[in-house]
Structure 1
Amino acid sequence: MATTQDLLPRESLLWIFAAQFVALLPQFTQLPLWVPLAWAFAVYWRLEVFRGRRDLPGRTLKLLVILLTMAGLAISYRRWFALEPMVALLTLSFTLKNLELVSRRDAFVSLLLAYFVAATLFVREQTIPYALYGLLSVVVITAALAAQLGSFSARPRRALGLSLRLLAQATPLMLLLFVVMPRLGPLWSVPQVTSAGRTGVSDSMAPGDFTRLSKSDKPALRISFDGPIPPPEQRYWRGLVYSEFDGRTWRQGVGVDPRNGGQVYWKSGERPLPQVGPRYRYQVIQEASRSPWLFALARPVSDSSGVGETLDDRLVKHSPVYSRFAYEVRSWPRGSRNMSASLSRAERNRNLQLPPSGNERTREWAESLGRRGLGAEEISARLLARYNREFTYTLSPPALGSDSVDEFLFGSQQGFCEHFAGSYVFAMRAAGVPARVVAGYQGGEWVSGERYLLVREYDAHAWAEIWLDGRGWQRVDPTAAVSPERVRDGLESAAGEEFMQDSLLPLHRVDILVKLRLQWDMINYRWHQTVVSFDSEKQRDTLQRLLGDISPLRMALLFAVPCALLFLGALLWIWCSGRARKLPAAERFYQKFCQRMARAGVVRRSGEAPRDYALRITREKPQLASLTQRVTSAFERAAYGGDAEAAKELRRLVKRHFGLLDLASVQVDKLKQAGR
Structure 2
Amino acid sequence: MATSQIHSLLPRESLLWIFAAQLAVLLPQFSHLPLWLVGAWCGAVYWRLEVYRGRWEMPGRLVKLAVVTLAVAGLSLTYRRWFALEPMVALLAVSFTLKNIELVSRRDALLSLMLAYFLAATLFVFEQTIPYAVYGIFCVVIVTAALAAQQGRGSARPGRALGLSARLLAQSMPVMLLLFIAVPRLGPLWAVPQNSAGASTGISDSMTPGDFSRLSKSDKPALRIAFDGSVPPPEQRYWRGLVYSHFDGRRWSEGEPADAFGRGRAAITGSKTVRPLPEVGPRYRYQVIQEPSYNPWLFALARPDSETRGVMATAEDTLVYRAPVASRLAYQVQTWPRESTPQVTPLSAEVRRRNLQLPDDGNPRARQWASELQRRGLSGEQISEEVLAEYHGQFTYTLKPPALGRDSVDEFLFSTRQGFCEHFASSYVFTMRAAGIPARVVAGYQGGEWVEQEEYLLVRQYDAHAWAEIWLPARGWVRVDPTAAVSPERIRDGLQSAAADQFMQDSLVPLHKLAFLNRIRLQWDMINYRWYQTVVSFDSERQQGLLRRLLGEVSVSRLLLFFGVPAGVALLGLLIWLKVSARGPRLSPANRLYLRFCRRMARVGLARHSGEAPADYARRIQAENPRLGGAAVRITAAYQKAAFAEDPAAEKQLRRLLRGFWPMRLTH
Name the TM tier (shorter chain): 0.7 to 0.9
On the 8 A contact 1:272/1:338 being kept in 2, the answer is no
The Cα of 1:161 is off from its aligned counterpart by 0.6
Q: 2:359 aligns to what SS in structure 1?
A: coil
- Residue 513 of structure 1: aligned partner: 517
Give the distance between the partners of 1:91 and 1:129, measured in 2 at CA. 22
1:36 to 38, 42, 45: 38
What pairs with 1:115-134 in structure 2 (closer than 5 Å)? 115-134=117-136
> Against the structure 1 CA distance between its residues 143 and 485, is the aligned structure 2 distance closer, same or farther, given a 3 Å change threshold?
same
Give, as a single letter, the amino acid of the residue that structure 2 aligns with 1:243. Answer: S
1:498 to 474, 499, 502: 502
2:177 to 175, 178, 181: 175
- Residue 60 of structure 1: aligned partner: 62
Q: 1:313 aligns to what SS in structure 2?
A: coil
Q: Does 1:482 align with 2:486?
A: yes
What pairs with 1:126-525 in structure 2 (closer than 5 Å)? 126-195=128-197, 197-255=199-257, 258=262, 260-261=264-265, 270-525=274-529
The Cα of 1:552 is off from its aligned counterpart by 2.4
- Residue 621 of structure 2: aligned partner: none
On the 8 A contact 2:266/2:312 being kept in 1, the answer is no
> Against the structure 1 CA distance between its residues 56 and 579, is the aligned structure 2 distance closer, same or farther, given a 3 Å change threshold?
closer
On the 8 A contact 1:243/1:250 being kept in 2, the answer is yes
On the 8 A contact 1:268/1:302 being kept in 2, the answer is no
Q: 1:89 aligns to what SS in structure 2?
A: helix
On the 8 A contact 2:247/2:358 being kept in 1, the answer is yes
TM-score (normalised: structure 1) = 0.85
Cα displacement string for residues 61-92 of structure 1 (whole angstroms, at most 9, x for unaligned residues)? 11111121122222222222222112111111
The Cα of 1:273 is off from its aligned counterpart by 2.1
- Residue 531 of structure 2: aligned partner: 527
Give the distance between the partners of 1:582 and 1:320, measured in 2 at CA. 63
Give the distance between the partners of 1:96 and 1:132, measured in 2 at CA. 29
Cα displacement string for residues 386-427 of structure 1 (whole angstroms, at most 9, x for unaligned residues)? 111111111111111111111111111111000000110000
Q: 2:492 aligns to what SS in structure 1?
A: helix
The Cα of 1:540 is off from its aligned counterpart by 1.3
On the 8 A contact 2:370/2:431 being kept in 1, the answer is yes
> Against the structure 1 CA distance between its residues 347 and 615, is the aligned structure 2 distance closer, same or farther, given a 3 Å change threshold?
closer
Q: 1:465 aligns to what SS in structure 2?
A: strand
On the 8 A contact 2:273/2:313 being kept in 1, the answer is no
The Cα of 1:259 is off from its aligned counterpart by 5.3
> Against the structure 1 CA distance between its residues 575 and 337, is the aligned structure 2 distance closer, same or farther, given a 3 Å change threshold?
same
Give the distance between the partners of 1:26 and 1:404, measured in 2 at CA. 44
Give the distance between the partners of 1:554 and 1:457, measured in 2 at CA. 47
Instruction: Choose 110-119 or 180-189, whichever is displaced more.
Output: 180-189
Q: 1:463 aligns to what SS in structure 2?
A: strand
Aligned Cα root-mean-square deviation (Å):
2.4
- Residue 104 of structure 1: aligned partner: 106
> Against the structure 1 CA distance between its residues 366 and 560, is the aligned structure 2 distance closer, same or farther, given a 3 Å change threshold?
same
The Cα of 1:151 is off from its aligned counterpart by 2.5
- Residue 93 of structure 2: aligned partner: 91
- Residue 569 of structure 1: aligned partner: 573
Give, as a single letter, the amino acid of the residue that structure 2 aligns with 1:484. Answer: P
> Against the structure 1 CA distance between its residues 609 and 463, is the aligned structure 2 distance closer, same or farther, given a 3 Å change threshold?
farther
> Against the structure 1 CA distance between its residues 105 and 428, is the aligned structure 2 distance closer, same or farther, given a 3 Å change threshold?
same
Cα displacement string for residues 480-529 of structure 1 (whole angstroms, at most 9, x for unaligned residues)? 11111100000111111211111111122111110011110001001100
Which ranges in structure 1 are unaligned for 5 or more consecutive residues?
Answer: 588-604, 618-676
> Against the structure 1 CA distance between its residues 372 and 565, is the aligned structure 2 distance closer, same or farther, given a 3 Å change threshold?
same
Give the distance between the partners of 1:261 and 1:550, measured in 2 at CA. 40
> Against the structure 1 CA distance between its residues 281 and 259, is the aligned structure 2 distance closer, same or farther, given a 3 Å change threshold?
closer
Identity across the alignment (%): 66
Give, as a single letter, the amino acid of the residue that structure 1 aligns with 2:37. Answer: V
- Residue 8 of structure 1: aligned partner: 10
> Against the structure 1 CA distance between its residues 84 and 264, is the aligned structure 2 distance closer, same or farther, given a 3 Å change threshold?
closer
The Cα of 1:440 is off from its aligned counterpart by 0.3
Give the distance between the partners of 2:399 and 2:491, measured in 1 at CA. 15
1:552 to 526, 531, 556: 556
Give, as a single letter, the amino acid of the residue that structure 1 aligns with 2:284. Answer: Y
Aligned length: 598
Give the distance between the partners of 2:264 and 2:273, measured in 1 at CA. 24
Q: 1:238 aligns to what SS in structure 2?
A: strand
Give the distance between the partners of 2:638 and 2:146, measured in 1 at CA. 39
2:23 to 21, 26, 34: 21
Give the distance between the partners of 2:441 and 2:451, measured in 1 at CA. 30
